[in-house]
Amino acid sequence: SMGELWQKKLLVAGYEKTFEIGRQFRNEGMDAEHLQDYSQMEFYWGYANYEDGMKLVEEMYKLIAKEVLGTLKFERGGYKIDLSKKWVQYDFESLIKEKTGIDIYKVGKTEISKKLKELNLEFDPNLEKWRMVDLLWKFCRKQLSGPGFLVGQPVELTPLAKRKEDDKRKVEQFQVILAGSEVGNGYSELNDPLDQEERLIEQKKLGEKGDSEAMEHDTGFIEALKYGMPPACGFGVSERLFSFLMNKPIRECVIFPLMKPEKE
């Protein structure tokens, strides 16, 4: 993430509300929804949690749509979206079970691999279990119109989020769901240095096994957490949001997108 760790260090230093709007680069492929080089807004709100974040983000998206487009209604990929309607909360575990029959906490890689094959989804059989679960979720996500929030994500998929008090297997995370896609991500930030270090060590092991989405072990960040970071909610959204609101490919919603040269 562009500014996540340094903004958390600012929370440690006493800044209760921070944000950054800047450029971000992701070393992955491009498609109608994703660019490699894009602008993103990311904020951190001290002494707030993910429930506070959901309320703020819903208000923010409605305000953006109204101010930019003059309407809260738009179409995208065959879905008709009305941001003024009640936003739904989709539970990660329940949704996957409902759509695929898979109980993610009771089955192993073998059963999940079998289901992925049944659904004709491409996957690397060497992936660890929770990356396969993420593929199941992405299959289910395409069937959701929103507006809404995905909640109840497994701790294995979000190494920087705080665990839920009533179910330690899950984290206090929310992802904005619009027209079958995630368009914004936030969570209650993990501020326990011991728990955070354990998770980053585990992430490092996954990275060594070839997991391209695993995080690096940042010892400086752990050291900052040990000084004491207040509870906080963080959230990030990129210019993909405008691509959805205008129902256009992301390349048509940014200034000077990367172009293939006319002559090599």
Which sequence spans correspond to the domains of the chain?
Answer: 4-87+146-253
User: Which pLDDT score, from 0 to 100, does residue 214 have?
Assistant: 66
Q: Can you say whether residue 179 is alpha, beta or left, with left for phi > 0 and alpha for psi between -120 and 50 degrees?
A: left
pLDDT at 215: 67
- Residue 217's pLDDT is 67
CATH of 4-87+146-253, one of 3.30.420.40, 3.30.470.10, 3.30.70.60, 3.30.930.10: 3.30.930.10
Overall size of the chain counted in residues: 264
Tokens of 60: 């923010």
pLDDT of 194: 86
Q: What is the pLDDT of residue 1?
A: 47
pLDDT tens, the chain, 264 aa long: 457 778 988 998 999 999 999 888 877 777 767 787 888 999 999 999 999 999 999 999 999 999 999 999 999 989 999 999 999 999 999 999 999 999 999 999 999 999 999 999 999 999 999 999 999 999 999 999 999 999 999 999 988 889 999 999 999 999 999 999 999 999 998 888 888 788 778 877 777 777 666 667 678 778 878 888 899 999 999 999 999 999 998 888 888 777 777 776
- DSSP string over 54-109: HHHHHHHHHHHHHHHHS-SEEEETTEEEETTSPPEEEEHHHHHHHHH---TTT--H
Query: In 3D, which of 182, 157, 183 has the Cα closest to residue 170?
Result: 157
Residue 76: the pLDDT is 92
